[in-house]
Amino acid sequence: MTSAFELRWETAFRYARDHSPYYRESFCAFSKTPKIEDLPTTDKCLLSERNLDFLCVPTEKVVEIVTTSGTMGKPLLWMLTETDLRRLSLNECLSFQCAGLTPKDTVLVAVAMDRCFIAGLAYALGLRELGCAVVRVGPSSPALVLEMIERLRPTAIVAVPSFLRVIAEKAAESGFDLKNSPVKKAICIGEPIRETALTLNASGRAIVSNWGASIYSTYGVTELANSFCECKSGRGGHLHEEQLHVEILDDAGRPVPDGEPGEIVATTFGVEAMPLVRYRTGDCAALFREPCGCGRNTPRLGPVLGRKNQKLKLKGVSVFPSTLQAALEEAENVESFAIVARSENELSDSVEVLVHGAASVSALRELFQARLRIIPNIRHVTQAEIEALQMPPQARKRRTFVDLR
Ligand SMILES: [Zn+2]
């Protein structure tokens, strides 16, 4: 008997082979549908080089064009048909249902709707599909968010964690009682709110305590037009299997056991304009398959640990900068920090943690030993030195990880 997965895979394989110039070339040796694991992977470099060779439809069928970061100096173009927008709406609707939203909710979307991003559009479509009232407050005015909380009494918000913290600061300054506001759910995008062990990190705990709300992490990839959202159990984001197949692979392209981190590699189902087969996202996370406390049996994706190319090799141990950052954010008496990675040799990187604040080197060494089982070099520097590293001339974003490898 053919399983639901096999049917979806067969359809996706044939469609890509017959309609995409890139896959026609790549899959020409297969007259029958091969096992998914037998096919080559693609990655963002390939997508950037052959961007429009992935397009399966004539341009008159395209109704939406978004962009995401590319590898050739220009953003990657990503196109969607009406069918793809329907799939995207359904995906986000399922994701918001995971977070327990219903048509009774009024939801603030504090995410960019423009600048060619897919995210804001996807959230607005998904909430509409679900029947929620959508308020597109956007990501730039904490005052507007607070005003809308007062006037509309919304029950949930979708935002980047750092913006939720900025709103909380503004509320504290202006005497606004955010903790007792009607907003009882925050759906967090773009930044982690949990540690590898799935407990809340410092940022997640600050949001819970300032907003008095439950928080749900959601992770999405533009090229997959798909997202994974946590349920009330907070044990990873649920995969919507009818739309996406996920593999977690190691550096050599072999599957890693469930619960162990590796690169997220995904195949889309039901995509019309730009379907992808075995796409290496470059993001690393673990997949969990045991049934979830919420009653769903779908696999769940744990917190994204970082980009695969940011992974550090320290004395034989693989560590993501995000793990070091999380430890430093928890540390007492650390006012600011920067993590600098250099290449030592083929097998090992050297990592130096520059710290400003009263924390002693021995206390920090203890913290790293307990949390990471390895200790980087630690050095105290001035606030000005840290700022120069975090924000070099021409930088557009503040960074705490400086990769000199
Ligand atoms: Zn669940």
- CA of 237 relative to ligand 1 center, distance in Å: 8
pLDDT in tens, 58-116: 999 999 999 998 888 889 999 999 999 999 999 999 999 999 999 999 999 999 999 99
* CA 247 – CA 256 distance, rounded (Å): 9
- CA of 88 relative to ligand 1 center, distance in Å: 20
- CA of 118 relative to ligand 1 center, distance in Å: 25
- CA of 200 relative to ligand 1 center, distance in Å: 16
The protein residues having their C-beta less than 5 angstroms from ligand 1 (an ion) are 231, 233, 292, 294, 296
* CA 292 – CA 233 distance, rounded (Å): 7
pLDDT at 326: 85
- CA of 290 relative to ligand 1 center, distance in Å: 10
Q: Are 226 and 240 in contact (CB under 8 A)?
A: yes
pLDDT at 396: 62
pLDDT at 1: 67
How many Cβ atoms from other residues are within 10 Å of residue 283's Cβ? 16
- CA of 56 relative to ligand 1 center, distance in Å: 34
pLDDT at 24: 96
pLDDT at 71: 85
- CA of 297 relative to ligand 1 center, distance in Å: 8
pLDDT in tens, 292-329: 999 999 999 999 998 898 889 888 788 889 889 888 98
Closest of 377, 372, 384, 376 to residue 335, by C-alpha: 384
- CA of 298 relative to ligand 1 center, distance in Å: 8
pLDDT at 395: 65
Phi, psi of 93 (to 5 degrees): -60, -45
* Span between the terminal Cα atoms of the chain, in Å: 51
Using H for helix, E for strand and C for coil, what is the string for 308-373?
Answer: HHHCEEECCEEECHHHHHHHHHHCCCCCEEEEEEEECCCCCEEEEEEEECCCCHHHHHHHHHHHHC
pLDDT at 348: 86
pLDDT at 6: 96
- CA of 294 relative to ligand 1 center, distance in Å: 4
pLDDT at 197: 86
Positions of the chain with pLDDT under 50: none
- CA of 240 relative to ligand 1 center, distance in Å: 12
- CA of 234 relative to ligand 1 center, distance in Å: 7
Please give the structure tokens belonging to residue 313.
């090799």
Residues sharing a CB contact under 8 Å with residue 35, sequence separation 6 or more, in sequence order: none
- CA of 317 relative to ligand 1 center, distance in Å: 31
CA 304 to each of CA 60, 118, 191, 307: distance values in angstroms, whole numbers, following the listed order? 36, 19, 9, 8
